[in-house]
Structure 1
């Protein structure tokens, strides 16, 4: 909406992406920081608490902590985005659909957990089906919209593959990226703030890539694939970053609220979307290093137990392994944050080292 102050009233400052991105960040942060304590108070009165798994006895002190905080930071991110972006942009519309749709699937899962007072929500098959439908729908829309389906490898100038002649393959690949990323962020969300800061780091990096992809001069100078109109997603991404900072104010250790599946699936889907439209599907492994590490630990643990009847880790995901080893929760969280920050710095270096 702010852009129309420029187009209709000629107020120049509102034409700039960077200015509107700054506005969206602070609007989202302030809104989230203001609404979250009201939500926490309401959620406690309704006993909308996070059911704690019996397999993690160390977390029983978190039993009265409310969940579904993701609903609030997704809501504030959407409000800030609508105020700041050009709403006639296809990438923006699809991005907001991704954020809301994946968030609603997670909210349904959270609601079932709260009502049943169990750590297991909707069945895995139903959850996967709903995620799959949204992922396929958005991937198909991107393909129809003409998004470049070239597969770029970090630190290489030219694409490794071009899938443009096989739209079905690109849709299947993008769907896989959506499903893998949403579940990876969901798995990581197990300690106070553990998923929040790596998500912020990933979104900051992807915001830089999307801004460059949408800018003709920067993309040409850095030899980065140009994606016309994608730059407007920079504003939406900064809105979500601002919301996540507002959420982190209450989610840092000891957490007053958890994001729940509503938050982890929503953020995971949006991270996947940003990686896809900026041609960073492969680099996402580095950008989301913590999410990859957590997911691999679960895959290796299950695979080892099924094939050898032996565990690799004391407990999976890997953050629980360190808990069982006796590491303080805050130490695990901060060290994982450091890994996320360092890996994203390396990812950003790939812009020039190519």
Structure 2
């Protein structure tokens, strides 16, 4: 919003030229989101606690320590993240950019689905929220609309193409079938982050790492000079998403202040579904869908662990892991929660560096 109001006067007032720089506005969005979370975080947590007397329902089949340590902790803390991301993005992004609205639509839409799921869990005092099939259908509908929106504004052949990491000019053209690819990326990323969100601080830090990585990717992809030098596909307007990524990093830092062990609040599906969907949408706009699987490899590992566990139990009656998702497996092996979380953060950093390496290794 500031960009749209201020830049028309930049020629008359030189200092206003700062607002034309994506890097400056990315920093502004980061700080704004962080301050919003700091200012309203405790009030929102107190309000959630007053409405959720029993807090988030804890799975009976989960680690036994969770039934004691996490009982009574309120959920829906993802609303604080959405507030921070929305404030930072709307204030600092170029609101005439269609990609910004596409990503925000996914963020808000998936957040609404997560809110409905959290609300049903809390109101019914049960771990079962929105039925899985209905949730997937709603997610797919939003993902389909967002992918179609992105394809409409993106120039051909990028609009329906899938870029391959490590290869300079390869772009697999899916035509209208790219809508299915987009739905898979968005729904998959959303639910992968959701599965990872099981320990204090476990999901939010890898999300921030991925967001920071995609801030750099978006900036490079949206710059004709840098994209040509790195031999990556140039997407006009994609650089604006660096500002939104900055807002996501700032909101994540603000939320982590309250989610650090022992957590005062959980993000719930309100946060995890929306954050995963946001990363998925950004990867589609920047044409780095496959790189998201590398940078967000921790989320992929958590998802694969659940798939393997379920498939193995159904086919053989045996479990591969002591408990799924993967972080619970290590808890059951005797690792302290903080040990699991920090080691998973380290893995997330390593995978992010590997994903960023694809920018040059072509």
Distance 1:91 1:238 in 2: 15
Distance 1:113 1:218 in 2: 47
- What does the per-residue CA deviation read over 1:109-157, in whole Å, with 9 as the maximum and x for residues that have no partner? 0000000011111111111111011011111112222351322222221
Question: For the Cα contact (< 8 Å) 2:84–2:250, is it kept in 1?
Answer: no
Specify which of 32, 43, 64 is matched with residue 37 of structure 2: 32
Question: Unpaired runs of 5+ in structure 2?
Answer: none
- Larger CA deviation: 147-156 vs 16-25: 147-156
Distance 2:352 2:66 in 1: 30
Counterpart in 2 of 1:50?
56
Matches within 5 A, 1:70-219: 70-146=78-154, 148=158, 149-163=160-174, 166-167=175-176, 169-219=177-227
Distance 2:322 2:93 in 1: 47
Counterpart in 2 of 1:256?
264
Q: Does 1:222 align with 2:216?
A: no
Distance 1:296 1:252 in 2: 26
Counterpart in 1 of 2:23?
18
Distance 1:140 1:2 in 2: 28
Distance 2:260 2:288 in 1: 29
CA drift at 1:73: 1.1
Question: For the Cα contact (< 8 Å) 2:165–2:291, is it kept in 1?
Answer: yes
Query: TM-score, structure 2 length as denominator?
Result: 0.95
Distance 1:234 1:77 in 2: 12
Query: TM-score, structure 1 length as denominator?
Result: 0.97
| Number of residue pairs matched by the alignment | 351
Question: For the Cα contact (< 8 Å) 1:2–1:20, is it kept in 2?
Answer: no
Distance 1:79 1:123 in 2: 31
Question: For the Cα contact (< 8 Å) 1:66–1:257, is it kept in 2?
Answer: yes
Question: For the Cα contact (< 8 Å) 2:154–2:235, is it kept in 1?
Answer: no
Counterpart in 1 of 2:312?
304
- What does the per-residue CA deviation read over 1:235-293, in whole Å, with 9 as the maximum and x for residues that have no partner? 11110110011001111111111100000011000000011111111111111111000
CA drift at 1:8: 2.8
Q: Does 1:2 align with 2:9?
A: no
Distance 1:155 1:177 in 2: 20
Q: Does 1:336 align with 2:344?
A: yes
Distance 1:22 1:283 in 2: 24
Counterpart in 2 of 1:62?
70
- What does the per-residue CA deviation read over 1:297-347, in whole Å, with 9 as the maximum and x for residues that have no partner? 000000000111110000110111111111100000000000000110111
